[in-house]
Amino acid sequence: MDNLEFKEEYNLSKEEIVELLKSDGKKLFEIADKVRKHYVGDAVHLRGLIEFSNICKRNCLYCGIRALNDKVERYRLSEDDILDFAEHGMELGYKTIVLQSGEDDFFSRDKMCRIIEKIKKFDIALTLSIGERSYDDYKAFKNAGADRYLIRIETTDKDLYKKLHPNASFENRVECLYNLKELGYETGTGSLVGLPGQSVDSLADDILFFKKIDADMIGIGPLIPHPQTPLKGELKPANFDMALKVMAITRLMLKNINIPATTAMETINPNGRIIALQSGANVVMPNITQGKYKLKYEIYPNKASSDMDSLTYHNNIINKIKSIGRYVSLDKGFRNNSLI
């Protein structure tokens, strides 16, 4: 697709997507940047991420906090700590707080609702990223005030999904996404790039899936092998470029959605976040978990800036955003539906 050019609408076929994924990406990144500017402008939305529990009942083969990893020191934040961190985020100027954790049943429906209600007393948008829960849980969280929910599909290749997620169901994960949409959440999903056995074809299917469910947010990241997981030997530097291409094509296909420059991109490439922001992304999700907990939420090793204090880290990110002529958004950054 040497002839790729800026358009207001792209309905790329699977073949065209595969061709773009096989290209060097140069033209694609340039055009995705234009589409980003046209539909969501130069604002960058910051989301303050609080990782409130690294206890997880799942055993996803790639993930460092999988239940079977007995080398992780497990923690759960108290409700008071979660609220303190959220308040600190507000003081730094965040308009969205993201609560993320492993799949930890300790945080029951009632506990989560209580936390959500307390955070929502502030004038702030709230995103949850706590995995697969029942329809009724999702409904209760929504009624308590949650605005958005993130749950990556990880891969739409069903056989691969099965291999990577013991005792889990692809169908249930898809159902979670439809339930969240039906309940009126802004719904985010996304995928990992560089999984063993993942083909360019299946990455194209992932993008078509994002389009089909009309996701409001898409997070794409390269696989970063964790030494205490079965995928420890799978590091492929080319995954950065491939993840960037998946992200850029997603921008073409879903034009006005929110797309983060993911921490995984920054971890695998020292300039990854800026490169992503110039190739279709418009969101950054700085970690605002404080103190000793931050290092323990190790889904993959050397997570970018996980050893910096949140103020230094925050200022670094803002300076980087300004250095490329972009600015930090002052609003809550819901999906921009004004230009569709």
Q: Would you tell me how many other CB atoms lie within 10 Å of the CB of residue 70?
A: 7
CB of 25 to ligand 5AD, least distance (A): 20
Among 115, 192, 265, 284, binds ligand 5AD (CB under 6 A): 192
Q: Looking at beta carbons, which pairs linking 16-24 to residues 24 or more positions away fall under 8 Å?
A: 17/204, 17/207, 17/208, 17/249, 18/200, 18/201, 18/204, 20/245, 20/249, 21/200, 21/203, 21/204, 21/242, 21/245, 21/246, 21/249, 22/200, 23/245
Indicate the pairing of strand 186-193 with strand 217-222: parallel
What 3-state DSSP class applies to 37? helix
**300 contributes a contact to ligand 5AD by CB under 6 A:** yes
Task: Tell me which of 72, 195, 299, 304 binds ligand 5AD, using CB under 6 A.
Answer: 299
In the complex, what is the shortest distance from the CB of residue 316 to ligand 5AD, in angstroms, rounded to a whole number? 21
| β-strand pairing of 283-284 with 43-46 | parallel
- For tokens 């360019």, name the residue: 200
With CA atoms as reference, report the closest residue to 254 among 3, 1, 2, 12: 12
* Terminal-residue alpha carbon distance, the chain: 25
- In the complex with ligand 5AD, which residue's Cβ is closer, 54 or 282? 54
Measured CA to CA, the distance from residue 213 to residue 190 in angstroms comes to 11
Among 224, 247, 257, 317, binds ligand 5AD (CB under 6 A): 224
Q: According to CB under 6 A, which one of 21, 63, 126, 204 is a site residue for ligand 5AD?
A: 63
Q: How far is the CB of 159 from ligand 5AD (least distance, A)?
A: 18
264 is a site residue for ligand 5AD (CB under 6 A): yes
Segment interacting with ligand 5AD (CB under 6 A) among 21-29, 132-140, 220-228, 328-336? 220-228
Residues from 118 through 177 that contact ligand 5AD (CB under 6 A): 152, 154
Q: Cβ of 8: how many Cβ atoms within 10 Å?
A: 10
The count of chain residues that interact with ligand 5AD, using the rule CB under 6 A, is: 12
Stretch that binds ligand 5AD, among 84-92, 219-227, 270-278, 316-324 (CB under 6 A): 219-227
Nearest residue to the partner ligand 5AD, using Cβ: 300
Distant-in-sequence, close-in-space partners of 224: CB < 8 Å, separation ≥ 6: 235, 264, 267, 268, 300, 301, 302
Nearer to ligand 5AD, 25 or 260 (CB): 260
Given the complex with ligand 5AD, which of 261 and 299 has the nearer CB atom?
299
Q: Is 304 in the site for ligand 5AD (CB under 6 A)?
A: no
Q: With respect to ligand 5AD, which residue has the nearer C-beta, 41 or 230? A: 230
**223 binding ligand 5AD? (CB under 6 A):** yes
Q: Is 47 in the site for ligand 5AD (CB under 6 A)?
A: no
User: Of 221, 59, 86, 212, whose CA–CA distance to 145 is shortest?
Assistant: 86
| 115 CB burial (10 A radius; 0-12, 13-18, 19+) | buried
Binding site for ligand 5AD (CB under 6 A): 62-63, 152, 154, 192, 221, 223-224, 226, 264, 299-300
